[in-house]
Amino acid sequence: MPGLSGTPVSSRIFELDEADLFGSMSADPLGEEEAAAVVERRRVLESLVALGAVTAAQGDALSVVRNEFDASLAQRGHEHAAEDWQEVAWEYGHSYLVSPPQALMSEIAADVLALTAVIDRTDDVEKLAKFYGVGATLASIMAMTATQVGMLRESRDWWHSARHYADVSDDRNLRVWVQGHEAMDTLYQGRPFRLVLDRAEAAIRLSDGNTTTGTLKAMACKAQVLSVIGATDDARAAVGRLRRTFETLPDAVIADGGSLQTWPEHRLLHTESFVYSAIGPVKEAAQAHAAASAAYEPTRIRARAQVALHEAVTLVRGGDIDDGIGHAERTLANIPSDHSCRYVRVIAKRVLDAVPEAEAGRPVVAEYRERLAQPIAV
């Protein structure tokens, strides 16, 4: 798993033995299907190399060592525990929020490949369902990470995989979690608002009245969409429902503030900050921004930047165009380059969108527009 200091990537990719990656080293000629499989395995490893997950030399050396190390356990029937992989998924739920997205992508890729090998060796139906659940979580986090770095087509493909794995896991709460996060991610991809709203409402219907973190994510997404399209009364009502629902959650769900799998208060406050920046009077919006900003730990670089950009939107909407653009400029300048991402850039664009058409020619606005036209540096 990745650390905040950029520690080496996970070694779980090296649980695959030489035959897993390259096929048999036997002198016997390979059949057509076996030869194709070898080519595909090499292509997969080369893909990991391209992502920075592993070098070919490391793979050759460590896969042999790790395979021999695990062989004695596997021979005696001790396979990988589903709980170990569930812990991996939980840790990624933390890492996603604080780690640079480009570095995280290679980590997840390595673990997805290792999990695939584990699933292929598992026959127990109950264990398979748990592994599929882990796969759904990892695929979801990969999809969100891909969006962060601007790989939108790839993100959509990973969401498709995440939904499929969640479906076969037969875990309704997980399915809602996947669909709720996909809805929010789709909003930040710039997809049509009707599509985003449909995704959010589908997740809410799937929850069937059972409040989970996935339900709340979908409700938050719906409130944000309604605020962006100018449905002021509906957006305000949606935020009110979200707050009332949040207040019914058990402490166990809201206690962990640093995981995608929980729903701490700062998620509610962030949603209110977003929504009121679009529809609220300046005073009400400013209060929401202050509450959201105070709720975040310093390590939440991207989320704090988003809230600061909500503030900039409010300033511009209130007529303080130069101050709002200046605040947005300073916010973007203070983000470390490895934390630059689409989620921040989308909110930065909302600052520009808030500028009245009659003021679009201001020099400060033109300079800001040029800044946003530059590609995301990751």
pLDDT at 372 over 60: yes
The sign of the torsion formed by the CA atoms of 327, 330, 334, 339 equals positive
Q: Please write the tens of the pLDDT for every residue from 19-74.
A: 443 344 444 455 665 566 556 556 665 666 666 655 544 544 454 455 455 545 55
**Alpha-carbon distance 22 to 43, whole Å?**
10
Q: Tell me, what's the pLDDT at 157?
A: 95
Res 15: pLDDT = 43
The whole-number pLDDT of residue 56 equals 45
Q: Is residue 373 part of a domain?
A: yes
- Taking only the tens place, the pLDDT of each residue in 282-326 is 999 999 999 999 999 999 999 999 999 999 999 999 999 999 999
What was the pLDDT predicted at 45? 59
Residue 193 has pLDDT above 70, yes or no: yes
In whole angstroms, give the CA distance from residue 175 to residue 264: 20
In a domain, 356, yes or no: yes
pLDDT in the model for residue 295: 95
Q: Is residue 358 part of a domain?
A: yes
Q: Is residue 342 part of a domain?
A: yes
Across 15-24, 98-107, 141-150, least confident range: 15-24
Whether 66 maps to a domain, the answer reads no
Nearest 5°: CA angle at 231, between 229 and 234? Answer: 135
End-to-end CA separation in angstroms for the chain: 20
Instruction: Check pLDDT > 60 for residue 114.
Output: yes
pTM for the whole thing? 0.83
What's 355's DSSP letter?
Answer: S
Q: How much is the pLDDT for 258?
A: 82
CA distance 99 to 120: 30
Q: What is the pLDDT of residue 118?
A: 82
Question: For residue 98, is it within any domain?
Answer: no
Residue 195 counted as domain residue: no
* Widest Cα–Cα separation across the chain: 77
Assess contact for 263 and 254: CB atoms under 8 A. yes
More reliable by pLDDT, 257 or 183: 183
Mean pLDDT of all residues in 176-193 = 97
Domain range for residue 355? 296-378
Counted domains in the chain = 1
State residue 119's pLDDT score.
87
* Residue 187 counted as domain residue: no
Instruction: Say which DSSP state 10 is in.
Output: P
